[in-house]
Amino acid sequence: MPNQNNTVLVIGSGVGGMKAAMDLSEAGRDVVLIDQAASIGGLMTRLDRTFPTNNCDLCTIAPNLSENARDKHIEVLPLTQVSALQGQAGDFTATLTRAPRYIDMEKCTACGECHKAFPECVRFEPGLDHRAPTCMRYPQATPQAFSIDMEKCEDTAALVNACPAGAINPDDGERTEERQVGAVVLAIGAELFDPSGLENFGYGVYPDVVTGLEYERIMSASGPTGGELVRPSNGKPPQRVAWIQCVGSRGINREDVSYCSGVCCMYALKEAIVTKERFQDDIEATIFYMDMRTYGKDYELYYDRAKKTYGVRLERCRPHSIISDAASGQLTISYATDASSALTTEKFDMVVLSTGFRVTENACQLARVLGIELNEHNFARTQSFSPVATSRPGVYVCGVFESPKDIPETMMQASAAACLASKNLVPVAAGNGEAELPPERDVSGEEPRIGVFVCDCEQNIGGAVDVDALAAYAGKLPGVVLSQSAGHGCSREALEKIKAAIVEQNLNRVVIGGCSPRTHENLFQNTLREAGLNKYLVEMANIRDQDTWVHMNYPEMAMTKAKDLIRMAVAGVAQAQALKDNTLPMNKDVLVLGGGVSGMNAALELADQGHRVYLAEQAGHLGGMALAVRKTLEGDDVPSYMADLIEKVSQHALIEVITQAIVVDHFGMPGMYKTGFQIGPRMYYRQIEHGATVLATGATHNVPRAYSLGEHAAVTTQIELDSVIEDQPERVKDWGQLVMIQCVGSRVPENPNCSRICCQSAIKNALRALDLNPDMRVFILYRDMRTYGFSEDYYAEARRRGVIFVRYETDTPPEVTPDGDKVKIAFADPIIGRKLAVTADCLALSTGMAVNEEATEDLATIFHLNRSLDGSFLEEHIKLRPTDLSIPGFFVAGSAHAPKNIKECIAQAQAAASRVLSMLSKDTINLGATVARVDPEKCATCLVCVRACPYGVPFINEDRYSEIDPAKCHGCGTCAAECPAKAIELTRFEDAPIMARLEGLLERSA
Amino acid sequence: MITAERKPMDEIMGMIDGCGRILLVGCNECVTVCAAGGRKEVALLAAGLQMASMKKGRALDVREMTLERQCDPEYVEELAPHIDQVDAVVSMACGCGVQEVARRFKKTPVYPALNTKFMGASEGPGIWAERCQGCGDCLLGLTGGICPIARCAKRLMNGPCGGSTNGKCEIGNDVDCAWHLIWERMKELGIEDRYEDVIAAKDWRTGRGNGPRKILREDLA
Amino acid sequence: MEQFEPTIVAFCCHYCAYTAADMAGSMRLVYPPNVKIIRVPCSGKVDTLHIMKALEKGADGVLVAGCLEGDCHFKTGNVKALQRVTYLQGYLEEIGIEAERVQMVTMSAGMGGRFARITTEFTEKIRELGPNPVNAGGSRLAAS
């Protein structure tokens, strides 16, 4: 029977699959998360660092990995594949086939003895070492158990005997089971291109030619060289490293694919920056590229930093081959640039091939099993207005298997897929029971028994301070009964150890010497709770973000400061008290701001899943920027899509559309917000109560004063040209020459970021104009063509159909002069080295988008939201939480986050809906435990708190003392700081722990 | 409430010069409300005194206590267990509290840390203004609820002097003319016709004119 | 003579200044190790007494770091913090301690660079002022 199912099958456990699984489980859905690999994590776990923050990947993702395994709603099945999918959306039967692990997970303790006994067989470094049978891919692998590849094992008996737990079972066999699921999310990613077949680059022949991923592994602290950057050929540090972009991508040669892999430019820049930053800044880093495609949010700034701050050299050309120079042991690259027609030859110590994404035959096979259509490149086929739905209803796709993309976009699509998948399930049951936890031990009155756990976070902390020595130091501090190094404290294994230590040593307080409580406190609080301690009895000493990262090169300083920070934390935690969180009922209604494509899609998804939605739009009608668009690059009709969308939204029983609405005030907290509007021409005031907010306030069409725009009739923008082509084709038929200029008002000092959509728009308009008027000459003057992903095919088609692409530099921009009703455009052609002039009937400027400065500034002020440097809303985490904003209960979708095309806006709108669904699935709001408490004995009823509270919460009660309702208190502590009788304490930040920290810091032994 | 302000640090330091250990005593009544001598100010002054001493290279031990009310002997008695251990008491109460402590503990010097200012009201966060001089014969019923004795610089009883300009007193722009306020208030009450009623010459014996005052309630005594 | 290494306490609000400090770390910006952070929910939570106690116990300087003006997560905590710091500076002068040892600063969560710059400048300023006079005889000269 359909719609009785609450389970989603998620195939693939990389970041995309994990994100989808976590969104669904947070929303109270059950998830079966399968992966053909032995542990979850996917590609991201193999990277060293991520752009553009250069954060360590494992640190970024490890909490998610551990969290995943801990979530009761998620069943993780590694080594598992789907062999059949029957039924229909809402009622599928999936046949799962599990490959043998040869290890009994119940018995395995992850001691690693098998790994020690067979060191020669351990595969730890994908791509650099092909040996195998026992394989745990990275230190935080979840599940923690090892797995064995029996085919490669020669002496089974010896292997079985190596295990002290008797967990190895050589007779383990393949198992098949059926699962009833309501929907399927495909998040299988893709493989990276193997360049072995390209003889010209000598990959696999010259050891110092490596792929981008292998270079990541070499730099990674968990990699084969322990984080030392050395040449594979001789183990010595390289002095000159080159990157060659687009290896296997954007090509027409043997083994090439035509599309752009979308991420390689950024990862090459990142690898080059990290090389200089972490290893030696005198290592020369050179990137050979065709177009630098840094089109993501703030990526252009990263590109600028690579060039200006780090001195990464960028050479625009695509070298043909790499030759090994036997005499020097170096690699020779010969290349030509615009500057000279002669070939330049240079020697490098290492060459990194920037290889892109490939769909494997395995994935194609899976697509056949699932019965979904693939596109011409064998990626899952989706539609322009339906970014994550495959051709089979109930089966959704996210991440790279949909099209090449980076992590933030994968995260958006993963949430979007979760949102659509949950539509096929039974309506979510109210009040999903919390996981059962052991009773909390009462520690009041006990002397502190503090356990200190110091993380090494690999090189992040361990690289700067001696973690064991630090732990030994902490062991001598007052109240500390146990102190030890914890490795990756946030790994599943370490968390289990901490839990065990709490119980065994009867600890009543814990200090984690690790990273920031902002990101990890929650994880450790849960760990304490699971060990039967109140979650507020843990304190984190932030020795990574605020010490070792800062003083990486001054180990002595770092160590002294680390000791100070640990001492403060130990002194503080000794004063910590057990506290109870306050809760309130959750308001399940949603406010969506902005009635464009993003806002309407978010509203529809939420209303379809049972939430009342207030859709507020500043303009007098729905539609937003997309109303000006006629066609997508793929040729889909935008106006009919918009008409349909507006109709659906306007007719939906659960959506109330409020136009001409301006936000004027805002109060409350996540789960119970109140937002005031002035509405309509008479500006009447109305307050809306809602639990969550989606900001889809869009951007504006950028209209810079450049190239006679707005002064000459022949000069127009791409968006206007799009309408002219559709609405006045006869005009286009008369044109002799059409010129386009890219990056007008983008990638300039005033607006440094790339507007992302303009290259596609230009190609789209060029091709459509040529359809109408094939004899017309079209010129596109550009800086870098950024037709990422499959839009590269349209760029190739444009070249094939005769569009002339001429690059310009910012120091010699095109010059535009009126020429009657036409305009003359003069520009330098760098290839032929001459100045040319074209008289055009139409000059279309690719002006892109700009942040709606006024709207975002007002909203950011009213809602207290942070903004990025460009003025757009700043997401909570640039990689993993691109749709969440810094304040819980606020989510962003569409171009209010960063420039996007319609398909990308829809994906983020559905993602925002998913995030809201996750949040609002709970029936209560946790207010935390930080509230002001009054001691009636001390209160002098002076009214200072009543007057000082920014929210007007305290009052003098009938018993003649100040009373503060914990449900209303926001926990700022202003009253506590002002109380002249010292009668108010802010829980978690009482005077005692603050004073204790000061004493801990200042009473150092001389 | 009775309002007060902390004395300058130099003066307080001068009084306790030579003391090795002092008892700093706050009061949880009026001086807490006017942010002069409550638990918080006691702690701040204790820290300040210690810092000033350390700066001079001297050790000063400051013990902190805050009584519910320093002007009641039962509360003052709470100091008894500590009094012999200190060289002096520094009181952060109004003058009443200082004297009560001094009366109880004859052999230990008691120094005031505050200058007691006036009986006043809170005009807003951080602002206190004088309202009453305790004349012992309240005439607020005749003056629209505004006291010309406490609020007129000249204590005039029958209308303003020539220095009243635009509702302000001639001694400074931030001082309201009490008689202007009285006039405005009487208008509000609709009794402006009574403004010119002559108030008889005041008998100041109910105030300080007859020496220190005392109240005796025989039913309670 | 060894360079004087001051001990500086920074009370940082969770939403802006503490986040900015983390940001400085993730940007690998170098700033002096002298500054030790105590996290508070809002700069409005910073009690004058906490600052006094820090100085009394021997800190050479105290920073109170909140959100940019108008951006306080709790509306006006940073304004109140500034008022308190200003009041306290007067009190310190009375005691004979340099008012510059206490400073209120503001920054947004994204301003890792500003955090690093402010802490560097403040440390330099305190270094010039020399040890906190309550640490008699300058016994707190760098020993380690």
* Residue A413 to residue A919: CA distance in whole angstroms: 18
* Structure confidence at residue A584 as a pLDDT band (50, 70, 90): confident
Task: Please calculate the CA angle A293-A297-A300 and round it to the nearest 5 degrees.
Answer: 45
Selecting from C26, C71, C80 the residue whose C-beta is nearest the C-beta of A55 gives C26
What CATH number has the domain spanning A701-849? 3.50.50.60
Q: Report whether pLDDT(C143) > 70.
A: no
Two tokens, residue A890: 């606020």
> Which helix (H) or strand (E) element contains residue A353?
strand A350-355
Share of chain A above pLDDT 70, in %: 91
Task: Report chain B residues whose CB lies below 8 A from the CB of C96.
Answer: 52, 55
* Residues in Cβ contact with A476 at an 8 Å cutoff, skipping those fewer than 6 apart: none
CB contact under 8 Å between A568 and C58, yes or no, is no
Domain ranges of chain A: 1-99+174-190+359-438, 101-139+149-172, 192-357, 450-574, 590-699+851-925, 701-849, 932-986
* Structure confidence at residue A112 as a pLDDT band (50, 70, 90): low
Question: Do residues B96 and B156 share a domain?
Answer: no
Confidence at residue A60, expressed as pLDDT on a 0 to 100 scale: 52
Q: Is residue B101 part of a domain?
A: yes
Any chain C CB within 8 A of the CB of B132?
A: no
**A987, closest residue in chain C (CA to CA):** C41
pLDDT, one tens digit per residue, over A679-708 is 999 999 999 999 999 999 999 999 998 999
Using the 3D structure, point to which of B118, B150, B181 is the last residue of a domain: B118
* Residues in Cβ contact with A52 at an 8 Å cutoff, skipping those fewer than 6 apart: A266, A270, A298, A299, A301, A302, A878
Q: Torsions phi, psi of A427, nearest 5? A: -55, 145
Question: Do residues B38 and B91 share a domain?
Answer: yes
Task: Report chain C residues whose CB lies below 8 A from the CB of B40.
Answer: 47, 49
Strand, coil or helix: B54? helix
Q: Which fold has domain A101-139+149-172?
A: Alpha-Beta Plaits (3.30.70)
B171 Cα to chain C: minimum distance (Å): 27
* Residue A965 to residue A984: CA distance in whole angstroms: 13
Any chain A CB within 8 A of the CB of B35?
A: yes
CB contact under 8 Å between C95 and B9, yes or no, is yes
Name the β-bridge partners of A656. Answer: A614
| Helices A902-920/A597-608 angle, 10° precision | 40
* Structure confidence at residue A1004 as a pLDDT band (50, 70, 90): low
Selecting from C56, C133, C135 the residue whose C-beta is nearest the C-beta of B47 gives C56
Q: What is the mean pLDDT of chain A?
A: 89
Long-range contacts of A954-957 (CB under 8 A, 24+ apart): none
Task: Report chain B residues whose CB lies below 8 A from the CB of C94.
Answer: 8-10, 48
* Structure confidence at residue C65 as a pLDDT band (50, 70, 90): very high
Confidence at residue A104, expressed as pLDDT on a 0 to 100 scale: 77
Task: Report chain B residues whose CB lies below 8 A from the CB of A940.
Answer: 28-29, 32-33, 38
A951 Cα to chain B: minimum distance (Å): 16
Q: Is the dihedral of CA C21, C25, C29, C30 positive or negative?
A: positive
Q: Torsions phi, psi of A739, nearest 5? A: -120, 140
Name the β-bridge partners of B21. Answer: B61
Selecting from A944, A947, A982 the residue whose C-beta is nearest the C-beta of B39 gives A982
Confidence at residue B180, expressed as pLDDT on a 0 to 100 scale: 96
pLDDT, one tens digit per residue, over B46-71 is 999 999 999 988 889 999 999 999 99
Q: Report whether pLDDT(A332) > 60.
A: yes
B122 Cα to chain C: minimum distance (Å): 19
Question: Do residues B112 and B139 share a domain?
Answer: no
Q: Report whether pLDDT(A922) > 90.
A: no
Domain A450-574 is found in CATH 2.60.40? no
**B42, closest residue in chain C (CA to CA):** C49
Tell me which residues of chain C, numbers 11 to 50, contact chain A at a CB-CB cutoff of 8 Å: 14-15, 18-19, 21-22, 24-31, 33, 36-42, 44-50
What CATH number has the domain spanning C8-135? 3.40.50
CB contact under 8 Å between A981 and B35, yes or no, is no
Q: Report whether pLDDT(A643) > 60.
A: yes
Q: Report whether pLDDT(A976) > 60.
A: yes
Q: Report whether pLDDT(A135) > 80.
A: no
Closest CA to A615 of A605, A626, A625: A605
**Mutation choice for B interface testing from A934, A935, A938, A942 by most B CBs within 10 A:** A942
* Structure confidence at residue C141 as a pLDDT band (50, 70, 90): very low
Question: Do residues B22 and B92 share a domain?
Answer: yes
**Mutation choice for A interface testing from B40, B65, B122 by most A CBs within 10 A:** B40
In a 10 Å sphere around its CB, with 0-12 CB exposed, 13-18 middle and 19+ buried, how is residue A95 labelled? middle
Domain A590-699+851-925, CATH homologous superfamily name and number: FAD/NAD(P)-binding domain (3.50.50.60)
* Structure confidence at residue A934 as a pLDDT band (50, 70, 90): very high
Domain containing residue B195: 133-209
Confidence at residue A223, expressed as pLDDT on a 0 to 100 scale: 67
Task: Report chain B residues whose CB lies below 8 A from the CB of A982.
Answer: 38-40, 43
**A937, closest residue in chain B (CA to CA):** B68
Tell me which residues of chain C, numbers 74 to 103, contact chain B at a CB-CB cutoff of 8 Å: 91, 94-97
Confidence at residue A50, expressed as pLDDT on a 0 to 100 scale: 63
Share of chain A above pLDDT 90, in %: 72
- The residue behind tokens 């008409």 is A643
- The residue behind tokens 């004395």 is B7
Out of 1.10.510.10, 2.60.40.10, 3.40.50.970, 3.50.50.60, the CATH code matching A192-357 is 3.50.50.60
**What mean pLDDT is predicted for residues C114-118?**
95
B213 Cα to chain A: minimum distance (Å): 28
Within 10 Å of residue A200's Cβ, how many Cβ atoms? 12
Q: Is residue B107 part of a domain?
A: yes
CB contact under 8 Å between A1001 and C109, yes or no, is no
Q: Report whether pLDDT(A435) > 90.
A: no
pLDDT, one tens digit per residue, over A448-504 is 999 999 999 878 899 899 999 999 999 999 999 999 999 888 887 889 999 999 999
Q: Report whether pLDDT(A55) > 60.
A: no
Confidence at residue A47, expressed as pLDDT on a 0 to 100 scale: 64
Question: Do residues B6 and B112 share a domain?
Answer: yes
| Contact status, residue B45 vs residue B8, Cβ threshold 8 Å | no
Any chain C CB within 8 A of the CB of B57?
A: yes
B181 Cα to chain A: minimum distance (Å): 26
Residues of A167-182 as b/e, b for ≥16 C-beta within 10 angstroms? bbbeebeeeeeebebb
Specify the CATH class of A1-99+174-190+359-438 in words: alpha beta
Chains linked to B by 3 or more Cβ pairs within 8 Å: A, C
Amino acid residing at B212: P
CB contact under 8 Å between C53 and B47, yes or no, is yes
Task: Report chain A residues whose CB lies below 8 A from the CB of B47.
Answer: none
Any chain C CB within 8 A of the CB of B40?
A: yes
Q: Report whether pLDDT(A182) > 70.
A: yes
* Structure confidence at residue C136 as a pLDDT band (50, 70, 90): low
* Structure confidence at residue A126 as a pLDDT band (50, 70, 90): very low
Selecting from A886, A970, A986 the residue whose C-beta is nearest the C-beta of C109 gives A886
* Structure confidence at residue A263 as a pLDDT band (50, 70, 90): very high
* Residue C73 to residue A862: CA distance in whole angstroms: 10
C85 Cα to chain A: minimum distance (Å): 12
Give the A:C interface size as CB pairs under 8 Å.
Answer: 138
pLDDT < 70 stretches in chain B:
none
Question: Do residues B34 and B84 share a domain?
Answer: yes
Q: Is residue B215 part of a domain?
A: no
pLDDT, one tens digit per residue, over A608-622 is 999 999 999 999 999
Any chain A CB within 8 A of the CB of B156?
A: no
SS3 content of chain B, % helix, strand, coil (to 5): 35, 20, 45
C77 Cα to chain A: minimum distance (Å): 7
pLDDT, one tens digit per residue, over C38-57 is 999 999 999 999 999 999 99
Confidence at residue A429, expressed as pLDDT on a 0 to 100 scale: 56
Any chain A CB within 8 A of the CB of B40?
A: yes
Domain count, chain B: 2
Residues of A with CB under 8 A from a CB of B: 938, 940, 942-944, 947-948, 979-983
pLDDT, one tens digit per residue, over B151-183 is 999 999 999 999 999 999 999 878 999 999 999
Any chain B CB within 8 A of the CB of C2?
A: no
Two tokens, residue B34: 């006017």
pLDDT, one tens digit per residue, over A792-843 is 999 999 999 999 999 999 999 999 999 999 999 999 998 888 999 999 999 9
pLDDT, one tens digit per residue, over A854-910 is 889 999 999 988 888 889 999 988 888 899 998 889 999 999 999 999 999 999 999
Share of chain C above pLDDT 70, in %: 93
pLDDT, one tens digit per residue, over A2-25 is 446 899 999 998 889 989 998 998
Confidence at residue A173, expressed as pLDDT on a 0 to 100 scale: 85
Confidence at residue A170, expressed as pLDDT on a 0 to 100 scale: 81
Q: Is residue B128 part of a domain?
A: no
Confidence at residue A491, expressed as pLDDT on a 0 to 100 scale: 80
What CATH number has the domain spanning A932-986? 3.30.70.20
Any chain C CB within 8 A of the CB of B35?
A: no
* Residue A822 to residue A839: CA distance in whole angstroms: 7
Using the 3D structure, point to which of B118, B153, B180 is the last residue of a domain: B118
pLDDT, one tens digit per residue, over A767-797 is 999 999 999 999 999 999 999 999 999 999 9
Confidence at residue A101, expressed as pLDDT on a 0 to 100 scale: 80
Task: Report chain C residues whose CB lies below 8 A from the CB of A1001.
Answer: 7, 9, 36, 59
Q: Is residue B123 part of a domain?
A: no
Question: Do residues B31 and B70 share a domain?
Answer: yes
DSSP secondary structure letter of residue A803: P
CB contact under 8 Å between C38 and A997, yes or no, is yes
Q: Report whether pLDDT(C137) > 80.
A: no
User: Which comes out higher in pLDDT, residue A113 or A651?
Assistant: A651
Confidence at residue A148, expressed as pLDDT on a 0 to 100 scale: 77
Confidence at residue A498, expressed as pLDDT on a 0 to 100 scale: 95
